[in-house]
């Protein structure tokens, strides 16, 4: 057991003690304390073992992937359990006091804030794991992509389900973000398994994630139009109508991440730590297609929604495309000389 493991188990013990004292005062506070106790104990169990890894279908899955899957399952279980508890409590109160049907409260603010915080941490961990997977020569990169994508999508759907019971901007944004990155990560499954060097394998990963995020931008744009029926004179009257207002901001965030992927694709051969090139015809062709797909999508949305941020990102992506071509052409000239 490592020092990190002991520290996390200590935090889990403190959260468990707090749960015992808080349960008598508030079910919501007690549930939040129990959630953190389980999260800390699970984290201590995973990170306390320095060589934690799982062999799955011939590939190695690392610590961070195991942690992401565990956190996703815990959050999903807690949200489902909270829904069942609230449903039973509401029906019990309705049977005993039918005259107070509109007075039942679904307020669990502590649990909502905890789910928001853990969802955000999980989202950052997914981005980190994607980078770590690209830096490792694991045979299980495809298995890792499946686990990351499925966990992110499941947790995102669970958070959005919680939003339908109690509206929260934080939960809605994080749920949409996890669902988006989960679907984009699943796009990595189509890439062939390869034992090539890092500089050769890196560019297709960036390009695939870029295309996956651009596809999600199209999906949210389509739903933005479909969900207009959830407005009454421009005012949302359902949870779906409220979520509609978050979609433009979500598309800006996805476009920013996709633009960063495009920028990394462009400058990757010139990074000092790489010292290689990726100037094959097919890689250049698919890189140009990915850049153009994102640029044209952002231009279309910027004009349709009158959104200046999307226009700026479209311009930056166009600059990235120019840099992508210039760097590849320079690499070609260096190879010839």
What is the predicted pLDDT for the residue at 230?
Answer: 80
Query: For helices 141-165 and 63-96, what crossing angle results, to 10°?
Result: 20
Higher pLDDT, residue 97 or 83 = 83
Average model confidence (pLDDT) for the chain? 82
Lowest pLDDT segment from 48-62, 113-127, 239-253, 266-280: 266-280
**Does residue 1 register a pLDDT over 90?**
no
> For the stretch 175-200, what's the b/e string if a residue is b when 16 or more beta carbons lie within 10 angstroms of its beta carbon?
bbbbbbbbbbbbbbeeeeeeeeeebe
What are the structure tokens assigned to 66, written together? Answer: 């195991």
| CA dist list (Å): 239 to 91, 165, 169, 224, 244 | 22, 9, 11, 13, 9
DSSP secondary structure, 37-97, as one string: HHHHHHHHHHHTSTT--EEETTEEE-HHHHHHHHHHHHHHHHHHHHHHHHHHHHHHHHHH-
What is the predicted pLDDT for the residue at 144?
Answer: 83
215: helix, strand or coil: helix
Nearest-angstrom CA–CA distance, 61 and 110:
33
Lowest pLDDT segment from 155-159, 232-236, 239-243, 322-326: 232-236
Residue 92: band (very low, low, confident or very high) from pLDDT cuts 50, 70, 90: confident
What is the predicted pLDDT for the residue at 193?
Answer: 66
63 burial class (0-12, 13-18, 19+ CB within 10 angstroms)? middle
What is the predicted pLDDT for the residue at 276?
Answer: 53
What is the predicted pLDDT for the residue at 101?
Answer: 52
Higher pLDDT, residue 25 or 134 = 25
Residue 337: band (very low, low, confident or very high) from pLDDT cuts 50, 70, 90: very low
What is the predicted pLDDT for the residue at 119?
Answer: 93
Lowest pLDDT segment from 38-47, 136-145, 323-332: 136-145
CA-CA-CA-CA dihedral for 132, 316, 292, 191, to nearest 10: 0
What is the predicted pLDDT for the residue at 197?
Answer: 59
What is the predicted pLDDT for the residue at 257?
Answer: 93
Query: What DSSP character marks residue 136?
Result: S
**Cα-trace Rg, the chain:** 23
Q: Which residues pair with 232 in a beta bridge?
A: 235
Domain residue ranges in the chain:
53-195, 196-337
**Does residue 195 register a pLDDT over 80?**
no
Lowest pLDDT segment from 22-31, 162-171, 289-298: 22-31
Q: Tell me how crowded residue 225 is: count the other CB atoms within 10 A of its CB.
A: 11
Query: Stretch 324-334: mean pLDDT, rounded?
Result: 73
Lowest pLDDT segment from 142-151, 259-268, 325-334: 325-334
What is the predicted pLDDT for the residue at 51?
Answer: 67
pTM of the model: 0.87
Nearest-angstrom CA–CA distance, 184 and 149:
8
Query: For helices 63-96 and 109-135, what crossing angle results, to 10°?
Result: 160
Residue 117: band (very low, low, confident or very high) from pLDDT cuts 50, 70, 90: very high
| CA dist list (Å): 232 to 124, 223, 241, 242 | 36, 17, 9, 12
What is the predicted pLDDT for the residue at 180?
Answer: 95
| Phi, psi at 136, each rounded to 5° | -115, 150
Query: Stretch 150-155: mean pLDDT, rounded?
Result: 95
Tell me if 124 sits within 8 A of 46, measured CB to CB.
Answer: no
**pLDDT one-digit tens code per residue, 279-313:** 677 778 888 999 999 999 999 999 888 888 888 99
Higher pLDDT, residue 230 or 67 = 67
């Amino acid at each position: 057991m490592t020092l990190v493991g002991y520290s996390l188990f200590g935090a889990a013990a403190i959260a468990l003690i707090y749960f015992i004292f808080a349960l008598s005062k508030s079910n919501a506070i007690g549930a939040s304390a129990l959630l953190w106790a389980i999260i800390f104990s699970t984290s201590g169990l995973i990170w306390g073992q320095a060589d934690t890894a799982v062999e799955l279908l011939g590939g190695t899955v690392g610590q961070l992937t195991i942690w992401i899957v565990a956190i996703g399952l815990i959050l999903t279980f807690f949200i489902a359990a909270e829904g069942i508890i609230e449903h039973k409590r509401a029906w019990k109160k309705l049977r005993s006091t039918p005259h107070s049907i509109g007075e039942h409260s679904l307020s669990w603010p502590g649990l909502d804030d905890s789910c928001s915080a853990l969802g955000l941490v999980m989202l950052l961990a997914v981005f980190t794991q994607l980078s770590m997977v690209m830096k490792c020569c694991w045979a299980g990169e495809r298995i890792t992509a499946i686990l990351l994508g499925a966990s992110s999508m499941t947790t995102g759907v669970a958070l959005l389900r919680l939003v339908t019971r109690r509206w929260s901007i934080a939960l809605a944004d994080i749920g949409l973000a996890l669902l988006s990155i989960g679907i984009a990560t699943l796009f990595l499954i189509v890439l062939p398994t390869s034992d090539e060097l890092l500089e050769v394998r890196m560019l297709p990963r960036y390009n695939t994630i870029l295309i996956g995020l651009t596809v999600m931008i199209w999906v949210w744009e389509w739903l933005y139009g479909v969900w207009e029926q959830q407005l009454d004179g421009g005012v949302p009257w359902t949870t779906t109508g409220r979520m509609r207002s978050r979609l433009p901001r979500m598309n800006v965030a996805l476009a920013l991440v996709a633009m960063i992927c495009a920028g990394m694709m462009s400058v990757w051969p010139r990074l000092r730590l790489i010292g290689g090139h990726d100037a094959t015809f097919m890689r250049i062709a698919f890189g140009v297609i990915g850049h153009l797909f994102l640029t044209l999508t952002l231009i279309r949305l910027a004009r349709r929604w009158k959104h200046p941020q999307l226009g700026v990102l479209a311009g930056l992506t166009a600059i990235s495309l120019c840099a992508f071509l210039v760097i590849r052409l320079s690499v070609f000239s260096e190879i010839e000389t």
